[in-house]
Amino acid sequence: MNFKRLLSLIIALAMVVIVCVSCNGNENDPNKNQHKDEIIVATWNRGNIWSGDIKDWNKYFYARYYSDVTAGKMTTDNVLRLSINAYVLVPILEEYLSEKGYSLTEEELEISVLNYMAQLDATYPDEGGYNYWKDGIGVSDNFIYELTKYGIYNSKARELLIDDLDISDETLREYFTENSMDYTTPVGYVFNTALCEVLDVADEEEWDARFNDAKSFIEKAQSGTSFSDIQKQVIEKYTEEDGYILVPYYTTDGTLTKLDLDNMPKFDNLDTYLEELRVKYTEKGMDPSADKQSDEFKAYDEYLFNVYQGTVAYIFRNSILDIGEVYDLPIKGPNGWMIVEYDSYNNVPFAKFEDVKEDVREDYIASIQDELLNKFDEQLLEKYNVSYEDVEFVPTETKAS
């Protein structure tokens, strides 16, 4: 469900009640008068936790997991438990991190909150941004500070837990063996690319300018500049701030397998093939200036793809390049001019553990970090004697409009 649609539902369903089934908390709590019409939902070594204490967390988690609750994948009791845990973990983690020498300054918190609010403004620019998010869920103005702290403290605790991990080679080898297919590389031609992106494919002057850029990078590479440096220079020149969002994705490396090559066009003369493509797609009505959803533009896009694919196939099928060489000319493609270097030929698909050990370690940590943090949080909750009352979290029957 789209979150914008979700908010329209939550506005109508945010009012919830917590029903006491069997409450055993300390009813002699000296702060009881401050919690009129509230019930005790849990206790810990600092006293009672009242329904009012967690109302913002309830609304937040109910909104976040609304689709799971309505689909029966999660219960409202799960939401209640998450809310209680989050409420107590903020001060618990703050205390733990302080003991480890970390403290979140007011300035750092304020910056993080402003960044969070800016993200929400960017996500919902037409609806009202942060206020739309806040009012849709029904939380108080101060809640975003608690939510931000919760995220920061959990992330920092996760970092410390990972830093303290003592992972043996035996564990990493076992993970490597179980996930060996993740560390295979296809047999075939390994090549590197860099993209000089064209933003307006209907602008011939821009095509010419980017061609000249690409040609100058090729000349640098052929004069001794490493291709990795060429890639860095391309990324530095074509920045996202200037609208070049595809450059990092196509300034990378790839492998052309034998199967790929067998399925690519076969021809003897590249110039003849490219001319035949031009004629074929001209007859199809290709038009770079047409609406991007039109058949004419799609034909043009397909033409550029075939130009690029056919040229790459020709280069490697006919052994035009030696290892380490860069193709003499920029290659036209759907997103601009591509620069291609033949890096190596890979004929060993399975990696050796020693060669990918650091990658394996990172992958292993990524696979266990959430579980690691969850177990740690559970230990903290147990240490602070968090005990849940027998209460129910019941959404109202109000219908969404």
Question: Contact, 66 vs 59, CB < 8 A?
Answer: no
Q: Find the Cα–Cα–Cα–Cα dihedral 158, 159, 161, 167, rounded to 10°.
A: 120
* pLDDT given at position 31: 61
* pLDDT given at position 29: 59
Question: Contact, 348 vs 208, CB < 8 A?
Answer: no
Question: Rounded distance, CA 137 to CA 63, Å?
Answer: 6
Strands, DSSP E only, in 104-229? 188-197
Q: What is the pLDDT of residues 133-170, one digit of tens each?
A: 999 999 999 999 999 999 999 999 999 999 888 899 99
* pLDDT given at position 394: 72
Matching CATH number, 185-346, of 3.30.710.10, 3.10.50.40, 2.40.240.10, 3.30.1380.10: 3.10.50.40
Give the chain's length.
401
Give Dmax (Cα) for the chain: 92
Give the number of other CB atoms < 10 A from CB of residue 306: 19
Helices (H) and strands (E) in the chain, counts: 15, 9
Q: Model pTM greater than 0.85?
A: no
**Domain ranges, ordered by start, for the chain:** 3-165+371-395, 185-346
Q: Specify the residue for token string 């988690």.
A: 61
Q: What is the pLDDT of residues 386-396, one digit of tens each?
A: 999 988 777 65
Residue of 173, 150, 143 whose CA lies nearest to 85:
150
Residue of 310, 284, 279 whose CA lies nearest to 296:
284
Question: Contact, 39 vs 23, CB < 8 A?
Answer: yes
Question: Rounded distance, CA 187 to CA 210, Å?
Answer: 33
* pLDDT given at position 170: 93
The residue type at 272? T
- Could you give the angle at the alpha carbon of 256 between the alpha carbons of 250 and 259, nearest 5°? 140
Residue of 100, 106, 111 whose CA lies nearest to 156:
100
Question: Contact, 129 vs 120, CB < 8 A?
Answer: yes
The mean of the pLDDT values for the chain is 88
Q: What is the mean pLDDT of residues 338-365?
A: 89
Give the number of other CB atoms < 10 A from CB of residue 119: 13
* pLDDT given at position 25: 54
* pLDDT given at position 24: 53
Q: What is the pLDDT of residues 20-52, one digit of tens each?
A: 445 555 555 556 667 778 889 999 999 999 999
Element (H, E) at 337: strand 336-346
Question: Rounded distance, CA 95 to CA 214, Å?
Answer: 55
In DSSP terms, 333 is beta-bridged to 336
* pLDDT given at position 400: 28
Structure tokens at 328: 């003499």
Question: Rounded distance, CA 300 to CA 40, Å?
Answer: 67
Question: Contact, 393 vs 58, CB < 8 A?
Answer: yes
